[in-house]
Structure 1
C-alpha cells in the first residue's frame, strides 16, 4: 500500500505538470493572437516616448498610441521599396481599418486604389506615367494605375518618407490645399477631422467641418491645417509617427495671378525664417506646385506663375541642398460646373490643360523641366461637390498617396 508521503509527492508532481502545461498553452494562445493581429491589421498598442528623456521622466509624452500594421518592413525608411517587392502579389488588405471615427467618415484603402498585383515602379518617371494614365471601371470605382503600382503606405511608412526631407512645401490654390488635407488625414489617421484645426473649434458649426465638409465647405477653409507645426503644437498625440519632431511640411496658399511682389517677398521670408534646413544639410527639400482651376486652366498664366514661384525657391535655398519639384494638375471637373464656365473649366478644358502643361514643362527648351503628376484620369469618373470642382475625401486621399509615392521614389535607394 502507498505511503502517505509518496502519495503527497506524486500529487504535488501532478500539480506541477498541470501548471506547466497550462503555461505552455497560454503562451501558445498569446503568440497566435499576436501573430493574427500583425497579419490582419489588428490594433496593437505601444507606448510612444518622445526623444527628450527616458521612461522615468514624468514630462514625457506617455499616451498610448495606435500603431498601424507594424511589421519588419515598415519600421525602417530604407526598406520601403523592399517592402513593396516582398508584399507584391499578396491579397489587398485595408490599411485604414484602425483610423479614428470611421463610423462618421468611412474610407477604405482597398476601395481607393487597386495595385497589390502590379509590380513596383522602378523610377519616379515610371511612377508618374503609370499613376497619371490609370483609370476606373465605372464611376467611383477603385482607381488602378497603368503599369506599375501606386503603393498604399501605412502611416509610419509615410512618416519615414517625410523624415528624409528637410521640408516638404505645398504651394498653390485651394485644390492643392485639399491634397495637403488628405496628407494630414493620413498622418493623423482621421478622415473626419484630420485636415482640421480641431483645437480652434468653438461651436457646433465648427464641428460640422468634418469629412466631406472639410474639403468643399468654404466656411471650413480657415479651419484647415496649413502647417504640420500647428498640429505638433496643439494636438501632438494625433500624429501617428515615432519621431513627430522630424516632420516638416507646410501649405502656402497662392493662387494670385500675376503673383504680386509682396506675395513673393512673403514666400521668401517664410523660406528663410520658417524652414527646417540650413546650409550644409544633406536632406533635400521638396516643392509641390498646384494651379489650374483658379486661372481657368490658362497654360501661359500657369507657366508664368510657376516661373515666379520657382525662382524664389532657387534664390532662397542654399545651393548645397537638392530641390525636388513636382507640378500636379487640378484634374477633371464634374457636370455641376456652371454653364458659363464649361469652356474654361469643363472636362475638355481640364484634359487639354493637363496635356499642354505636361508638354510645356518637359520640352527640351523649357527652363523649368519640372515633372507633372496628372490627376485628370484619377478624377474624371468620380463624384464631385455641388460646384463641380472639389473632389471627395477618397479622391483627395488618393491624390495625397500619389504624392507620397513620388516623394519616396525620389529618395536614394
Structure 2
C-alpha cells in the first residue's frame, strides 16, 4: 500500500529585500565594500603613479655622482668644448656641518645677485652661499611640482629659456633651437655658442615645448609633461597674442593647486616708469589666473667691455637698484644679473654665450626649487 507523504509547502519571505531597513543595510554594505576596495587598491595606485613618473623620463637616466661632470654625456659636449667645471665651481663647506648651499629663496637671490667671479670668465659664485647644479632628472622632478612655466619679455628671458631647453634635451650643440626648421647648413652655422650670439640663429630659438614635441625627432626632451614656453614682449600693454599665450598656459590648464611660475625680463629702455607699468600689467594678469603665480623679475645684464659707451654700465646698475622696490611691492622676487655678467665675455657687448645662459638657467631652476607648492 503506497503511502502518500505530504510535504510542507515552502514560502519565500521577500521581506528581506523589500523592506526599507533591508534596503538601507544593502546600501551600507555596498558603501563599505567600495571604501574597502579603494583602501585596498590605494597602494597599487601609488605604485602605478611611481611607474608613470619613472617612464616619463628618458629611458636612460644618468645621474652624475659627486665630482662627476654633469654635462659630459650631453650631445655636443666635445664639439662645444663645455664642461661643468668651466661654468660651475663645486662648493665645499667653510665650516663643519654647515651647508654651503643657500637655505631659502631670500638668501639664494641675495647671494646670486651679489656674487661674482674670481677672474674674467671664471665660474660665477654666490656671495655668502651658493646654488646647486642639478642633474637633468633632478630638474625634471623640480618641474613636476608645477602646472606650467612661462618666460616673458626681452632677449634675456629668451636666451635663458633656450638654455633651459638645452638642459632638458641634454644637447649642448642644438638643444635650444627648432631643428626641424633648419637645413644642414643652418645647423652647422648655429651650433653651440652660435645659438646665443649669432643674430641669424636667434630666430630659430625654441618658443615652446608643445610645438617642439610635435616636430622634434632628434634629441627629444628628457621629461615633457609640464608645459613651458617663451612669450616675447617689447611694449606695454602687451599684444593680445602675448596675453593670450600666457593665459593659455596658466588660466585654462588643470591642477589648480599647482603654481605656474613666471620669469619676466624687461629692460630695453631702462625706464623705471615704463618697466613699472610692465610689472603692473603682468602682476594683474597673474592675479586673474586665480591660482598661485610666483613671479621672478630678472635685472639687466652688464654691458660688455667691447660695447661702445661703456659708461652705460652705471645706468644699468642704477636701473637694477631702483626697480627692486617697485618689483617687491608687486610681489616679484628679483634676480640681479649685472654681477653675473660683469666679467663674462661677450661678442658684441650685449649678447652673452652658451656658458652664461646655462648658468642663468640653473639659477632660475634653483629659484624654482625653493618655491612652495601648496
Structure 2 length-normalised TM: 0.78
Map of 1:145 onto structure 2: 126
1:336 aligns with 2:306: yes
Counterpart of 2:92 (choices 117, 128, 146) is 117
Cα distance between partner residues in 2 of 1:337 and 1:148: 32
Q: Aligned pair in 2 of structure 1 residues 217, 259: CA closer, same or farther (>3 Å)?
A: farther
Q: Name the residue aligned to 2:237.
A: 259
Q: CA 1:240–1:270 in 2, change beyond 3 Å: closer, same or farther? A: closer
SS state at 1:401 partner: helix
Q: Does 1:395 align with 2:374?
A: no
Q: Partners in 1 of 2:108 and 2:159 — Cα distance?
A: 22
Task: Tell me, in whole angstroms, the C-alpha distance in 2 between the residues paired with 1:397 and 1:200.
Answer: 23
**2:108 & 2:70 partners in 1: Cα distance?**
21
On the 8 A contact 2:165/2:176 being kept in 1, the answer is yes
Per the TM alignment, residue 236 of structure 1 is displaced from its structure 2 partner at its CA by 5.9
Output the aligned Cα RMSD: 2.6
**Unaligned stretches of 5+ residues in structure 2:** 1-50, 94-99
* Secondary structure in structure 1 of the residue aligned to 2:77: coil
Counterpart Cα distance in 2 of 1:229 and 1:280: 18
User: What is the SS of the residue equivalent to 2:296?
Assistant: strand
1:347: which partner in 2?
313
- 1:358 corresponds to: 324
The structural deviation recorded for 1:359 is: 3.2
Consecutive aligned runs of 4 or more in structure 1 exceeding 6 Å deviation = none
Judged with a 3 Å threshold, the aligned counterparts in structure 2 of structure 1 residues 275 and 64 are, in CA distance, closer, same or farther, namely closer
1:404 — aligned with what?
365
Tell me how far apart the structure 1 counterparts of residues 58 and 298 of structure 2 sit (CA, whole Å): 37
Structure 1 stretches lacking a partner, 5+ long: 1-49, 55-60, 72-89
Instruction: Report what 2:82 is aligned to.
Output: 107
Deviations 1:290-327 (A, max 9, x none): 011x22x2222111122123222222x1x2x2111100
Match of 1:176 in 2: 157
Is 1:326 the counterpart of 2:296 in the alignment? yes
Residues 102 and 276 of structure 1: CA distance in aligned 2, closer, same or farther (over 3 Å): farther
Q: 1:108, CA displacement in angstroms?
A: 1.7
1:214-235 Cα distance to aligned partner (Å, 9 max, x none): 1022211221101012332222
C-alpha distance in structure 1 between counterparts of 2:352 and 2:372, whole Å: 29
Structure 2 distance, partners of 1:280, 1:238, is: 28
Question: Is contact 1:299–1:357 with CA below 8 Å preserved after alignment?
Answer: yes
CA offsets 1:3-60 (integer angstroms, 9 cap, x no match)? xxxxxxxxxxxxxxxxxxxxxxxxxxxxxxxxxxxxxxxxxxxxxxx969x9xxxxxx
Partner residue of 2:110 out of 129, 136, 158: 129
Provide closer, same or farther for how the CA distance between residues 206 and 278 of structure 1 changes in structure 2, counting only shifts above 3 A: closer
Which structure carries more relative contact order (alpha carbon 8 Å, separation 6+)? 2
